[in-house]
Amino acid sequence: MADNWDIFPSNIGETLGFIERKSFTFNYKRFEVWQGGDCIYLGSSIGQIIAKVVNGKLNITVDDEMINNHIVKHFSLGEISTNIDRVMWSKDIFNSLNKVEINTPDISSLFFKQGLLCKVTFTIHNPSTLIEFYL
C-alpha cells in the first residue's frame, strides 16, 4: 500500500540550508516493533510522544509501559534533515562518531499528510530495531 506522504526537498544534515526546528506532540493509537524484517511486537495504546526543541536539539519523551522495554523513555536528537517523504532528526547522520546506545534511537522520521503529522518512526542501531507509531 503506497502512502501519499507530503514531499520535502532532499536536504541531509542541512547541507542545502537551514531547516526550521519545531516541537511537537504526537498522540498515537498503535505501534509496531520490527527487527530483522519481522514485526516482533505490536499493539494498541493511547500513548504520547512529546518532543520539545531546546537549544536546537529535540528532547523526546516516549513514556508508555507497553513499549518502553524496546525504547528508552528520554533521549535527544540534534541534527535535522528532510528527505523526500519525511523530516528526519538524528544523532549522527554522517556516522562520524560511531556511538550507539542500547534501545536509544539514532534517527527519527516524521511523516506528514497535508501538513498533519501521521506517523513517527525511530531507528535504533543497538539492537537493530525500527519502531513505528501511528495515529
10-67 pLDDT, tens per residue? 999 999 999 999 999 999 999 999 999 999 999 999 999 999 999 999 999 998 999 9
Segments making up each domain of the chain, as ranges: 8-134
- Residue 107 class from Cβ within 10 Å (0-12 exposed, 13-18 middle, 19+ buried)? buried
Decide which of 1.25.40, 2.60.40, 2.30.29, 3.40.30 is the CATH code for 8-134.
2.30.29
Residue 52 CB neighbours (<10 A) = 14
pTM: 0.94
